[in-house]
């Protein structure tokens, strides 16, 4: 107990020292406030507009904030930017790059066939789209995932397993309320075996 009290007293001394240091750093508070705010954004679920590589209309996709883009000195008047990873990627260029996540992708953001994260302005983040399973009925459009063969190695995304990591658009053809499952038809044909329900 005596020792604890001692170390407590010691800590108090440090605290008061910190305080006096802080007061002299008041000018930097604004910057650190923004950094604090950015830190709370990491991992946040959101939705962002994405235009596919072949063009077309931008569509809204669920994503997660993965990092803040460091500010340049000369862009103090522009909006803060963050990188987001798509949580329900529907196309190859949206699949999070497994090599980049490990810090060892040899390709640049533009060259890589997978996504190093989309750079989005903070003000362009939308609310994440929540799935509503109760509303699923015949004719509903859903996102579904294909069930990989049992012996397939799914730990790392690669060309041959991309279709199992991607989400595919489908239309509900039948609903079994008791089994909490439904039968869906893929909107586009994918060469594969059986389908599994996993609506979004």
Q: Which residue from 41, 64, 112, 122 is in contact with Zn ion, where contact means CB under 5 A?
A: 112
Q: What is the DSSP letter of 162?
A: H
Q: Closest CB to Zn ion among 25 and 108?
A: 108
The secondary structure of 15-52, three-state, reads HHHHHHHHHCCHHHHHHHHHHHHHHHHCCCEEEEEEEE
Site string for Zn ion, 7-46 (x = CB under 5 A): ----------------------------------------
Q: Closest CB to Zn ion among 13 and 106?
A: 106
Does 101 bind Zn ion (CB under 5 A)? Our answer is no
Least Å distance, CB 87 to Zn ion, is 18
Which of 82, 81, 51 has its CA nearest to residue 66?
82
Q: Closest CB to Zn ion among 62 and 115?
A: 115
**Which residue is it, tokens 């490990």?**
102
Distance between first and last Cα of the chain: 56
Q: Which residue from 105, 128, 129, 175 is in contact with Zn ion, where contact means CB under 5 A?
A: 105
Least Å distance, CB 110 to Zn ion, is 10
The secondary structure of 96-122, three-state, reads ECHHHHCCCCCCCCCCCCCECCEEEEH
d(CA 100, CA 107): 9
Q: What is the DSSP letter of 123?
A: G
Least Å distance, CB 96 to Zn ion, is 9
d(CA 7, CA 2): 9
Q: Which residue from 48, 65, 100, 142 is in contact with Zn ion, where contact means CB under 5 A?
A: 100
Q: Closest CB to Zn ion among 94 and 142?
A: 94
Site string for Zn ion, 58-97 (x = CB under 5 A): ---------------------------------------x
Question: Where do contacts with Zn ion occur on this chain (CB under 5 A)?
Answer: 97, 99-100, 105, 107, 112
């Amino acid at each position: 107990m005596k020792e604890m009290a001692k170390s407590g007293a010691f800590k108090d001394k440090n605290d008061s020292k910190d305080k006096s240091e802080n007061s002299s750093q008041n000018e930097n508070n604004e910057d650190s406030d923004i950094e604090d705010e950015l830190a709370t954004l990491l991992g946040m679920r959101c939705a962002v507009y994405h235009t596919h590589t072949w063009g077309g209309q931008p569509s809204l996709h669920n994503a997660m904030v993965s990092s803040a883009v460091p500010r340049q000195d000369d862009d103090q008047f522009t909006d803060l930017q963050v990188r987001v990873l798509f949580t329900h990627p529907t196309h190859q260029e949206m699949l999070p790059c497994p090599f980049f996540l490990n810090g060892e992708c040899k390709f640049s953001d533009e060259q890589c066939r997978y996504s190093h994260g989309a750079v989005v302005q903070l003000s362009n983040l939308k609310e994440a789209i929540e799935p509503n399973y109760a509303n699923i009925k015949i004719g509903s459009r859903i996102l579904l995932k294909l069930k990989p063969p049992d012996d397939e190695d799914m730990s790392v995304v690669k060309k041959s397993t991309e279709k199992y990591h991607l989400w595919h658009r489908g239309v509900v053809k039948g609903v079994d309320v008791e089994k909490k499952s439904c039968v869906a038809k893929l909107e586009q044909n994918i060469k594969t075996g059986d389908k599994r329900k996993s609506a979004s």
